[in-house]
Structure formats: C-alpha cells, structure tokens
Chains A and B, each alone.
Chain A
C-alpha cells in the first residue's frame, strides 16, 4: 500500500514568517499534486509536478518534486493570513490509468495577523 506522509501535521505562525511543508513516501509517483482546502469546502488544486527535481512557483509558494519522485515540499515565503487552510499532497501511482490519487494526512496551517 502506498502511503504519503505529511509533516508537520499542524503549523501556527505569525504573518510574514516563512514555512515549509513536507510530503514523503517510500514509493515512486508518476506525478504529485498539492491542494489547499478551506473549512467546509472541497480541496482546490494548486500545482502538479511531474518531473524529478522539478520546481514550480506560484506567487509566494514554491513547490519541489524530489529527484527520485518519492517526496515533495511546499515552501511559503512571507506567509499571510489568507494562506490559512489545510494543505494536502496527493500522488498518482505510475502504473494506474484510473487517475486514482493517494492523499497525505494534510497539514493545517494557521497564519496569525
């Protein structure tokens, strides 16, 4: 069974601080995605990374896929209260053609003004 482990599970920081969330697995994924979810709503896709070592930037968010495609990180620079939410990583098994995603347990981020 493939597992994705996210760390930390909970993070509370002050506005303006930087943070990094990690997503690790012992399995190789053909692609990995990051989602952000607000309370009472469905997750919204932020980014998909496909190539080992790939780095993608989305404003103050930087996403990296590990060289071996087993891990990923999300770095937020100068966090703002609007970044508060649940961040989920999800990986797709390269052998699956159903689009079935394996989700991590999530990281709850709280940014205090």
Chain B
C-alpha cells in the first residue's frame, strides 16, 4: 500500500533562518506531488506541484521554493523565512492524471 511521510510535525524557526521540509511517498512510482499551505480552519492554497523529477510548477509568487531530487521525494525550502511564512504545510500525492489526493500529516511552522 502507498504511504506518505512528512516531517517534521512541528517547527519553530527565527525570522531570516532557512527552511527545509521533506516529504516522501512509498509504494508508488511517478506520482504527482504537491505542497499546500493552510491558514487556520481554512482551505488549502496550492504552492507547488510536480509531475516528475526536476519538473516543478509554482502557483503563487512567494518566499519559498520546491525541489524534487528523486521520484518520490519532494522538498519545500526557503533561504530566509518571513513571519508571514508561518502556517500549516501539507504535502500530498496523486496518481498521474487521477483525481484523489492523499495527504501527509502536515507540518506546523511558526516563524518567530
């Protein structure tokens, strides 16, 4: 069966520090991968999606970047965090061209 792992679960970082969130998927190959951000009790904003290694699309201009160094690994990064980067970040995967998305447990990022 397929599983998705996202870490860390919580993170407190000072303003100006770098960021690296990792997400890996097991049990499938060539998945679509996504990074979403969610404000408290609200819907999900798509940040990045990837249909293959080194194929990343950015949905919104921001202080963040994403990379996909391996087929089932997706990384969300920042060189210098801003206060406004605080939020709940979710990684997700889907089978190519299929509809359902499967989410990781999320990372609560607090920038102080």
Please give the residue numbers on chain A whose beta carbons come within 8 Å of chain B beta carbons, in ascending order: 6, 30-31, 33, 40-45, 48, 50, 86, 88, 90, 92, 97-106, 108
Contacts and interface: CB of A to CB of B under 8 A. Distances in A.
26 contacts: A6-B43, A31-B99, A40-B105, A40-B106, A40-B108, A41-B105, A42-B90, A42-B106, A48-B99, A48-B100, A50-B99, A88-B44, A90-B101, A97-B96, A97-B97, A98-B51, A99-B32, A99-B94, A99-B96, A100-B34, A100-B46, A101-B99, A103-B36, A103-B46, A105-B43, A106-B41
Nearest to A41: B105
B35 interface: no
B74 interface: no
Contacts of B90: 42-43
Given A40-B106, A42-B103, A98-B49, A106 B94 contact: no
Interface residues of B, number: 29
Secondary structure class of chain B's binding surface, majority of residues = strand
B94 to A, nearest CB: 4
B89 to A, nearest CB: 10
Contact of A103 (B44, B98, B105): B44
B95 A99 contact: yes
Of the candidates B45, B101, B105, the one having the most CB atoms from chain A within 10 angstroms of its own CB is B101
Contacts of A33: 99-101
Contacts of B102: 45
A74 to B, nearest CB: 15
A71 to B, nearest CB: 16
A62 B104 CA distance: 26
A102 B57 CA distance: 15
A90 B43 CA distance: 9
Contacts of B97: 97-99
Contact of B49 (A6, A48, A100, A105): A100
A101 B93 CA distance: 11
A22 to B, nearest CB: 14
